[in-house]
Structure 1
């Protein structure tokens, strides 16, 4: 115990079951269950780390907390350490991430869509070449080229997706760079034949959305002529060999649909999907003017946390993984990383895919990609560590300010902290309970 010590600003102690305690460290992600005796000593040791404890039990706990990073040298600036890692992650150039929307056209008309209208616009051959040249300039030897196909609905441009994926695969191979590929699709056109064609270009990661059982989903997500997409999407999922890919089913949660979301999950479980796909329960946010009318229907992070936590036990019982602890991250998403770009069917370049099809948010155009707009600098200037409330938050390393786009321009203006923060003790205890159950 030599030297001066202090409690880590990122070490959090919560009560747990039957007199136990649970310690969560937001910087390294560790979760430690303390027995009742250790829990009784934990607060004294954490809040008085320089006291000359004589009891072997207190001294032993002090040593354990040092190993866990819960007690650190008094001179250590953990905030500066986290900020340095955050900035390094945002500056790294070895990974090139491209979200590509080869069309703004879509075969659905979702009431909450942030893109608004869906013009019949597709990449031209010249635009394809310009996007390829952009990738060629930004991909470094030995790096990683990560591509996510987006839209509109990318499967309306399937030929382009396949052809251009092959070009990018060849580019990656020539640079000895790794290649990863995924797609966000509404699933209407994701037939077994299309699935096999995408598999041939190593597109293995998919996100499809259903917003509840048929009646709920089809009220929110209808075809452009008013037709029902639910049966088509679910039929496609039934027909696919999902063991050959990673399939994530997104279920968007609104105030009026939250009560029905689990009806869909029960239906999926009854059909054996728990072993084939993962479920992502996602709060809808009114991020753009196109969907500002939905703001009153959106759950706040606090409201969503309350609902989401209440659904975890049933998700577990139905066989769907429900690990939901916040994990340490050095940057939140591609929007705050320098070598991550979104390119839409007009050739406009963005930092966030919430801005696809919205020219006012572009940072440039693929035809003039060497001269980015000033908005790029505003993205580079966005810094959660400069926000006093974020900088003082003990969960900052597991959140890094939340969604950069929401923090910058969400219409609701509310702070977009990760929802888990608002019920962190409950989520931690659920995590502990689950691991104790699985260990029996």
Structure 2
């Protein structure tokens, strides 16, 4: 099998480690030696057969419908890079203009769940996976609670939220957890000083201590898990080593999965001068290893996979629904009228209309570099992580 062909059909990747090769297929990871490969870097027929017998060439079928619901398009923070901004704050402060206000209501929840039920039946799916999204979803806590409670009638199998957590209280965390919320993703923009310059309230003021404190108190109140996203830019990357250690002291790292990502621009005028260079790859590797040392979880690299929400232009396995019931193809275009692909009451618009509006994960992001450079960066970082997981018995 030629790896380029395999990558197109299955998302498979082949990475060069320090002492061996790593094969990442839709069904898992395998360690390979040079003898498993052909002279042109493909898989030998016997290697391909063995990988197939181990199930590494086949992805598990979808059983759950992936539904993303914005409970509010408003946000109490004013981060300059947010893809829901429409421009930068002309005054240079923390109040960038945003997408139009919308708030989830009981009536819209009914329409959304009716739509999800129809989509699940059409695709033969028997479970629902729910993401509560915003804006800041906790600006509408009633909407979050009602959406979770009513989703139970659709065999809710998992639920998570992306939140800045500045509004999360122990009582609310317990209530959401009781209704099936498993985890919350929260973002940090570097160590405290950098974070408090970047992730600011629209009413002014930093957020680092409030976020950390709310995570700790919510963790005491409910068995939530945390996905910690660390945004990396030229504004903050020198402080991220300190951030990892600070977070490990402030929260329970065993309940946290941490990942690092270079934040880009989606056309709102945000500038990040940090490039995907060898130096940055070395930093990512160091941060990941330190995170593991202090007890955080770091997800193992995987094959490229089709997003269930935006990876199918007919919305077969998932949908992104704005608080007003408007359908978008992806998180990045939610709430933007020019990217509307339908409504929950009327369904998806014809393909001739949605073709140029169907955006998949990170299609809109601009990094100022060629795709090849980004791919090499990710391959380098992922190979180093697999080497380390193997060396330390974590693979």
Which TM bucket (shorter chain)? 0.7 to 0.9
Q: 1:195 — aligned with what?
A: 173
- Asked if 1:435 is matched to 2:390, the reply is yes
Q: Pick from 127, 150, 163: which aligns with 2:146?
A: 163
Instruction: In structure 1, list runs of 5 or more residues that go unmatched.
Output: 1-5, 50-61, 71-81, 383-403
Aligned to 1:46: 38
Instruction: Spell out the pairing of 1:243-392 with structure 2 (5 A cutoff).
Output: 244-271=223-250, 273-287=252-266, 289=267, 291=268, 293-297=269-273, 299-300=275-276, 304-325=280-301, 327-337=302-312, 338-339=315-316, 340-369=318-347, 371=349, 374-378=352-356
Describe the shift of the 1:427–1:185 C-alpha distance in structure 2 as closer, same or farther (beyond 3 A).
closer
Compute the RMSD of aligned alpha carbons: 3.5
Q: Does 1:131 align with 2:125?
A: no
Q: Deviations over 1:379-415 (max 9, x none)?
A: 77x8xxxxxxxxxxxxxxxxxxxxx3434x4345755
Greater shift after overlay, 7-16 or 237-246? 7-16
Alpha-carbon distance in 1 for matches of 2:167, 2:105? 22
| Mapped partners of 2:172, 2:161: distance in 1 | 12
Paired residue for 1:112?
81
Instruction: Name 1:79's counterpart in structure 2.
Output: none
Conserved 8 A contact 1:204-1:246: yes
> Could you tell me how far 1:68 is from its partner in structure 2?
4.0
Name the SS for the 1:209 alignment partner. strand
Q: Could you tell me whether the CA contact under 8 Å between 2:328 and 2:334 is conserved in 1?
A: yes
Q: Does the 8 Å CA contact 2:291/2:297 hold for their aligned counterparts? A: yes
Partner residue, 2:196: 218
| Distance 1:184-1:8 versus aligned 2 partners, 3 A rule | closer
C-alpha contact 1:30 1:68 (8 A) present in aligned 2: no
1:337-364 Cα deviation digits (max 9, x unpaired) = 3331111123221010011221111101
TM-score normalized by the length of structure 2: 0.78
Query: Are 1:302 and 1:419, in contact at CA under 8 Å, matched by a contact in 2?
Result: no
2: CA distance, partners of 1:13 / 1:369: 41
CA contact (8 A) 1:210 1:250 kept: yes
C-alpha contact 1:361 1:375 (8 A) present in aligned 2:
no
| Cα contact 2:130–2:156 (8 A) shared by 1 | no
> What are the equivalent positions in structure 2 for 1:11-160 lying under 5 Å apart?
12=14, 14=16, 16=18, 21-27=19-25, 29-32=28-31, 34=33, 42=35, 46-47=38-39, 65=47, 68-69=50-51, 94-116=63-85, 117=98, 119-140=100-121, 143-160=126-143
Q: CA deviation at 1:237?
A: 1.1
Q: Quick check: which has more Rg, 1 or 2?
A: 1
The structure whose residues are more often helix, as a share, is 1
Change (3 A) 1:233 1:180: same
The 3-state SS of whatever aligns with 2:393 is helix
Structure 2 distance, partners of 1:193, 1:254, is 35
